[in-house]
């Protein structure tokens, strides 16, 4: 046994200098969107050789068009560097990475529809052209629809393809009813195809091209050398465009939020702020906390009634209420004003509870989207805990 322990100790002693000095392999993932030509010309071998020379460490570069898997990898810290579209970079930013910059400027996306369409609801039963399901364009499309209180389920047919410009062509030819594209592309298309369609939704600005994100925990001096390489004009080596743009962190936060935030509105219910909820409570409205029992006991709005919404359905405006359990709703009087709340804009339980209550005939449904976080931030009374 002592010999075994001694061997382990000796092995760690030999390995320790490499860990301490940061001489291990640097792993880089180039995640590209096939519908965006920028990622197609990137050469992993050239980049690996160049960065290996710069950092003085072995570099392994993997190139993939599986953007969904790339986002998963950001959550586990699998790679030291990501060169990827905005939505992958946004996920990396939230999981221990810093943004170096982007190769394209910020630009909004637009949902463009055939003539006569004024709102997403008018597209019910129609067709939409999108790039692959995990592409940034499709990600933004879902987010915009979500914010408007709709989802891709409004369409009878969602055509996923790997050519971004073809969506506008399909729209002008009458093959589809809608598509999503960058604003500059939409403006150019509109000039050449007057009367063929118009934007009905516009996103906030989204970082363009490829974004470079570097793990914060990557040891110096290798980390600093990598960042300097990406920022220099020489980053054209291997097909990466110059990382010349420095998008605001808010741009990436917006993109990240589109993936899981609740919509900004809810048909059938009135969205309220903390102050408005407080006023309603004073006037006799019932405040309902739909979170788990553990969360409720730890801390909740003073006087809140606990009726849990057991959520199993998708976090989507077109969720299936039958998959969830909100049997406790029967405890409430449909004739009385009721406020539903949970853990803020990222929590879907209060959204779903409000929608279910409205569908069951509750006369006055209020949705407190900001939930407990907003209530606490305003310094309003809470109770619970030990």
pLDDT-derived band of residue 120, with 50, 70 and 90 as boundaries? very high
The verdict on pTM exceeding 0.75 is: no
Tell me the pLDDT tens digit for each residue of 78-99.
999 999 999 999 989 988 999 9
Rounded to an integer, what distance in angstroms lies between the CA atom of residue 259 and that of residue 134? 11
Domains plus CATH for the chain?
A: 2-103+208-260 (3.40.190.10), 109-202 (3.40.190.10), 270-383 (3.40.250.10)
Q: Which of 359, 384, 380, 360 is nearest to 371 (CA)?
A: 380
> 3-class SS at 11?
helix
The more confident residue out of 237 and 230 is 230
pLDDT-derived band of residue 370, with 50, 70 and 90 as boundaries? very high
The more confident residue out of 345 and 216 is 216
Tokens at residue 306, please? 């606990």
Tell me the pLDDT tens digit for each residue of 53-69.
989 999 999 999 998 88
Tell me the pLDDT tens digit for each residue of 1-50.
444 334 434 443 343 343 334 568 999 999 988 877 655 678 899 999 99
Number of neighbouring beta carbons within 10 Å of residue 194: 7
What pLDDT score does 231 carry? 86
**Backbone phi and psi for residue 151, each to the nearest 5 degrees, phi listed first:** -150, 175
Average pLDDT score over residue span 332-343: 97
How far lies 172's CA from each of 111, 124, 167, 195, in Å? Answer: 14, 19, 9, 9
Q: Which of 64, 53, 37 is nearest to 234 (CA)?
A: 53
């Amino acid at each position: 046994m002592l010999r075994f322990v001694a061997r382990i100790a000796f092995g760690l002693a030999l390995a320790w200098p490499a860990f301490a000095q940061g001489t291990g392999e640097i792993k880089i993932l180039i995640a590209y969107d096939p519908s965006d030509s920028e990622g197609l010309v990137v050469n992993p071998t050239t980049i690996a050789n160049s960065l290996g020379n710069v950092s003085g460490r072995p570099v392994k570069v993997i190139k993939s068009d599986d953007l969904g898997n790339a986002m998963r990898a950001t959550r586990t810290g699998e790679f030291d560097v990501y060169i990827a579209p905005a939505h992958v970079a946004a996920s990396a930013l939230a999981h221990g990475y810093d943004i170096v910059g982007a190769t394209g400027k910020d630009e909004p996306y637009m949902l463009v529809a055939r003539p006569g369409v004024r709102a997403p609801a008018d597209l019910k039963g129609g067709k939409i052209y999108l790039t692959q399901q995990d592409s940034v364009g499709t990600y933004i499309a879902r987010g915009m629809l979500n914010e408007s209180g709709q989802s891709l389920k409004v369409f009878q047919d969602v055509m996923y393809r790997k050519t971004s410009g073809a969506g506008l062509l399909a729209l002008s030819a009458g093959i589809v009813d809608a598509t999503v594209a960058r604003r500059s592309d939409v403006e150019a298309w509109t000039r050449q195809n007057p009367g063929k369609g118009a934007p009905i939704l516009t996103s906030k600005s989204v970082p363009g091209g490829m974004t470079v994100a570097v793990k914060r925990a990557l040891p110096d001096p290798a980390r600093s050398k990598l960042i300097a390489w990406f920022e220099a004009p020489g980053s054209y080596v291997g097909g990466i465009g110059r990382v010349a743009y420095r998008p605001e962190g808010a741009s990436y936060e917006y993109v990240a939020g589109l993936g899981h935030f609740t919509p900004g509105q809810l048909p059938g219910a009135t969205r309220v702020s903390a102050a408005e909820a407080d006023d309603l409570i004073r006037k006799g409205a019932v405040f309902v906390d739909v979170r788990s029992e553990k969360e409720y006991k730890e801390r909740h709005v003073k006087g809140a009634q606990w009726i849990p919404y057991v959520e199993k359905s998708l976090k989507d405006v077109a969720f299936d209420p039958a998959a969830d359990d909100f049997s406790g709703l029967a405890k409430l009087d449909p004739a009385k004003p009721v406020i539903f709340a949970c853990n803020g804009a990222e929590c879907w339980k209060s959204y779903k509870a409000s929608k279910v209550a409205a569908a069951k005939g509750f006369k006055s449904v209020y949705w407190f989207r900001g939930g407990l976080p907003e209530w606490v931030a305003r310094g309003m009374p809470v109770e619970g805990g030990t």
